[in-house]
Amino acid sequence: MDQDSPADYLALADWRRRVAKMWQEWRIVSGTDGPAATQAFRDAKDRLFLEHPQSPVPAAQRPSFTGLPYWPYDAALRMTVRLDPPPPEVERSAAFASLAAIALPSSGSGGIPFRRIGRVQLSGPLAGSSLDVFWIDAYGGGIFLPFRDATSGSETYGAGRYLLDTIKSADHGGDHATGELLLDFNMAFHPSCAHDPKWACPLAPPENRLSVPVRVGERLASTH
C-alpha cells in the first residue's frame, strides 16, 4: 500500500518491527507450548489491529473492533515437512511450467512476481494433500505459502489464507540442512485485503486448493 508521508513510512517500519518480534517469540515458545504461544500471539495481534496506524482494519471500524475470530488450537495441524523439488509438469497448468518468475493471482490490478521453488506433502489430518511453495521474486525475497480449503468462501476468506509470508516475518521455522519446514496451520491468517479492499494481496492459485476443511487459524466473524 502507498504511504503518504514520512510519518507513514516510520509507522510501517514500526509495524514490521513489532510483527517480527511477535513471530520470533512465537517460534521460541511454540516448540514447548504451542497453545500458549499461539494465544499470546493472537492477543498481541489484536492489540496491533486495534491500536496501530498501519492496521489493515479500516480506521472507522477500529472503535468497534473486539479481536479477530479463530478456531481453537489443534496440535495435530502442526507438522514438519520436507520441501521437495517441483514435480514433473505433466499435469500442471501452463502458468507453472518452470521455475521462471510467475505472477500469482492478486486482489489488486497487477500481478506480483513469484517463483515456485518446491512442494510439500502434508501429514496428520491433511495426509495425502500437498501444496506448492513460492519465493517472492522481488528485492529481499521470501518464502510464501498461500492456500485455500473447503472453508474458503464460507467460513474463511474466499481467496484463501496465508501460512507463510517470510518477507513479512510470518515464518514458522525450518532447517535448511535437512530441507525441512515447520508448518503450523493454527497460525493460518487472512491477507490484509480480507479486512479492507484497498490492500492489494497475492492470492492462492488453483494448485493450492485443499479439498478438505482446515478449521484452525483465523476464520470469518460470521462463523459459529
Q: What does the pLDDT look like over 5-46, one tens digit per residue?
A: 899 999 999 999 999 999 999 999 999 999 999 999 999 999
More confident residue, 102 or 179: 179
pLDDT, position 67 = 96
pLDDT, position 113 = 83
pLDDT, position 211 = 97
In three-state secondary structure terms, 134 is strand
- For 81, the domain range is 6-208
Is 50 a member of any domain?
Answer: yes
Q: Work out whether strand 78-84 and strand 112-121 pair parallel, antiparallel, or are unpaired.
A: antiparallel
Is 84 a member of any domain?
Answer: yes
Asked if 100 and 86 touch (Cβ cutoff 8 Å), the reply is: no
Q: Per the structure, how many domains does the chain have?
A: 1
Q: Count Cα atoms within 13 angstroms, Cβ side, for 209.
A: 10
Closest CA to 184 of 52, 44, 75: 75
> What whole-number distance in Å separates Cα of residue 190 and Cα of residue 201?
10
Is 219 a member of any domain?
Answer: no
Q: Which amino acid is located at 209 in the chain?
A: R
Is 220 a member of any domain?
Answer: no
Is 153 a member of any domain?
Answer: yes
pLDDT, position 202 = 85
Residue matched to cell numbers 517441483: 86
> What whole-number distance in Å separates Cα of residue 155 and Cα of residue 133?
24
Is 147 a member of any domain?
Answer: yes
Q: Is it the case that residue 91 has pLDDT exceeding 80?
A: no
Is 196 a member of any domain?
Answer: yes
Is 63 a member of any domain?
Answer: yes
Q: Is it the case that residue 1 has pLDDT exceeding 60?
A: no
Closest CA to 190 of 111, 82, 121, 107: 107
Q: Is it the case that residue 57 has pLDDT exceeding 90?
A: yes
> For all residues of the chain together, what is the average pLDDT?
89
pLDDT, position 110 = 56
Percent of the chain whose pLDDT exceeds 90: 73
Give pairs for 212-215: CB < 8 Å, separation 24+. Answer: 212/125, 212/126, 212/129, 212/149, 212/150, 213/149, 213/150, 213/151, 213/155, 214/77, 214/126, 214/147, 214/149, 214/150, 214/151, 214/185, 214/188, 215/71, 215/151, 215/155
pLDDT, position 197 = 84
Q: Which distant-in-sequence residues (6+ apart) come within 8 Å of 200 by Cβ? A: 1, 106, 107, 108, 109, 110, 112, 193
